Amino acid sequence: MKTLRSYQREAVERIYKFFNSDLNKAKICMSTGLGKTAIIASAIDKILEKHDKEQKILIAVLTSQRAICEQIKNVLVETNPHFNIALYIKEMIGAKILITTYQDVRKNQLEIKNFDLIICDEAQFIKNENIFDLLSKKGTKFLGVVGEIDEINRWFGDATCIFSYLLSDAIRDGYVWNDNEKKFVENFLVPLLKYQGYTNIVKERRIFNKNRSITLDIVANKGNEIIAFEVKMYRNLYNSKSVLDNAVEQVLLYKHYLTQSNEREKVLFILVVPYEIDEKIQNEIYEQSNVIVWSINNLIYLCEEEKKLLDLLASYIPYSLLNLESRKPQEIERKKEPIIIKKEEHPSITEKYLRKLKKCKAGKKNGAAIDYEKICTEIIYYLFKTEFFKFSEQHHTDDEMFRMDLICSLKGTTEFWNFLITFYNTKFVVFEYKNYSKPISQNLIYITEKYLFSAALRNVAFIVSRKGFDKNAKKAALGCLKENGKLIISLNDEDLIKMVSMKENGEEPSDYLLDIIEDILMSVSK
């Protein structure tokens, strides 16, 4: 549990307490991408460690897809290599843990064992509640893992919520969800700092003030100095000055919080941005804000004499390092801090849009669909206005047959939008907004496909909805891609908020879209 974040450790403790309580049914509520798999694995590890010597404990984890079963198993094995795990009910002989699908339970109901704890992943999507009749035995405890508290109105609807940690909580606490960035910090930056003589290296250091907390990626010592590192990962070798300005602004905000906690004078900041930056710009930032910037050229310099570190750096950078020159970074030295004028604190842009989306209820009642469309368009403008040349809302085709909520022409300045232009022969992208309370069905995929037309260089569409695509809609979107080369991408509220947070924190939001596209393309069969 040492590698878990504070909220994950708390969730594990709550689950363990539930297992030892008189309750038979409970739930935890967590947004996607906040590490629920690690929580499940650590909770199982703790329960078996504390109880299995006294009695034989059997635990089942149920989910909707076989691929998720494999993912959970991998995390469990990483947590404890000695776990005896079965992936099918028929393999349960001698196993203490079963990780399988709801379909497997229904298919092999006569062979179900008496489990002490059954963890139901994505419990809000369980449609056939007869499955619980098959599983319910004397003394069995059920734990539902759900996305949002108000999504549960079925079997787990009356279950006690023992823990809740949502996207708004993660943003408040300064936690990021960029998995590649986290791996870069753990597997490259920490070893690099050790190699360079840094000591007392602490990852994800929390700083609190009266209103909120922030999380510094790394805090370490170099001689007598305390150095804080903030990391921003990008998919481009070159990025706009505005992206770097946003990242520096984020560091200055951290300095402001440190001032309130009386730690500012003790800490120097290094901003790690692994792409090419003009040395003149780096010097200007240092002179104006006392923030040292490490570019990709500086990172190459720091590890070029250690081949293992250089290879690690290359493995986390999405472009070749072969033609890049090394450059010595700015020396770490303390100088008089520039005066930062205290500004009146305002809610963050991310929090503003979180509140707007939460206030806008799903459906058409009281003009909610129109409100949702306005909010989403406003977010798209905020995220990508520098990437689009023209915007057209409520755009009609010349024959008046189709009306698109938003259509934009592309400049292709960042990696993602250039990727669409190059490989999908598209100059325009379509955005459709669906304020539905349930996931999007396949019928809407086929309707959206009609908006796309190769001769008009319009081959890509985004469908923005509250809950994303259902299973059949995902299949339909893949079918459109394989058969006609039309790319239809699902975005939900959480995707929008994550990208807004990235933009506000000095990251490139279109990198998030590129990750989505790569996941889709890597899953496509013939």
| Domain at 56, CATH number | 3.40.50.10810
What's 181's domain CATH number?
3.40.1350.10
Looking at the 3D structure of the chain, how many domains does it have?
Answer: 3
Instruction: Output the pTM of the full model.
Output: 0.77
Residue 333 lies in a domain: no
Domain boundary (149, 165, 181) is at: 165
Instruction: Find the CATH number of the domain harbouring 425.
Output: 3.40.91.50
- Is residue 234 included in any domain, yes or no? yes
Q: Where are the alpha helices (DSSP H) in 108-262?
A: 130-135, 167-173, 179-184, 190-195, 241-260
Same domain, 212 and 150: no
The answer to whether residue 271 is domain-embedded is: yes
Q: How large a percentage of the chain has pLDDT more than 90? A: 40
Higher-pLDDT residue of 106 and 304 is: 304
512: CB partners within 8 A, 6+ apart: 495, 498, 499, 502
Q: Is residue 322 part of a domain?
A: no
pLDDT exceeds cutoff 50 at 377: yes
Q: For residue 154, give both structure tokens.
A: 């079925």
The answer as to whether 324 is a domain residue is no
Using 50, 70 and 90 to split pLDDT, how confident is the model at 53?
low
Q: pLDDT value at position 177?
A: 58
Verify that 294 and 389 share a domain, yes or no.
Answer: no
* pLDDT tens by residue, 128-155: 556 666 656 667 888 988 876 555 556 7
- In a shared domain, residues 289 and 199: yes
pLDDT tens profile 219-240? 999 988 889 999 998 888 777 7
- pLDDT at residue 211, rounded to an integer: 60
Asked if residue 185 and residue 262 are part of one domain, the reply reads yes
Phi, psi of 213 (to 5 degrees): -125, 160
| 62-86 tens-digit pLDDT | 988 888 888 889 888 887 888 889 8
Domain that holds residue 22: 6-165
* Last residue of one domain, picked from the residues 136, 165, 194: 165
Q: How confident is the model at residue 1 (pLDDT cuts 50, 70, 90)?
A: very low
Q: What is the DSSP string of 282-319?
A: HHHHHHHH-EEEE-HHHHHHHHTT-HHHHHHHHHHSSS
Is residue 335 situated within a structural domain? no
Residue 156 and residue 188 in one domain: no
Q: What share of the chain is helix, strand, coil (3-state, %, to 5)?
A: 45, 20, 35
Residue 57, pLDDT score: 84
Residue 132 token pair: 């619980």
- Verify that 301 and 263 share a domain, yes or no: yes
Work out the pLDDT band at 158, boundaries 50, 70, 90.
confident
Q: Are residues 77 and 122 located together in one domain of the fold? A: yes
Q: Are 139 and 117 in contact (CB under 8 A)?
A: no
Residues 95 and 242 in one domain: no
**What are 457-509's pLDDT values in tens digits?**
999 999 999 989 988 999 999 999 999 999 999 999 999 999 998 888 888 89
**Is the domain of 505 the same as that of 450?**
yes
Residue 89: pLDDT over 50: yes
- CA dist 436 and 119 (Å) reads 28
Cβ neighbours of residue 376 closer than 8 Å, sequence gap 6 or more = 431, 433, 464, 496
Both 160 and 189 in a single domain?
no
Q: Answer yes or no: do 159 and 178 share one domain.
A: no
The angle, 0 to 180 degrees and rounded to 10, between the axes of the packed helices 471-484 and 509-523 is: 80
Domain termination site, one of 165, 193, 209: 165
Task: Indicate whether 378 and 493 sit together in one domain.
Answer: yes
Label residue 267 by pLDDT band (50, 70, 90). confident
- Collapse the DSSP code of 209 into the 3-class scheme (helix H, G, I; strand E, B; otherwise coil) and give the result: coil
> Which phi and psi (to 5°) does residue 522 adopt?
-70, -15
Instruction: Kindly state whether residue 343 falls inside one of the protein's structural domains.
Output: no
Q: Is 302 a domain residue?
A: yes
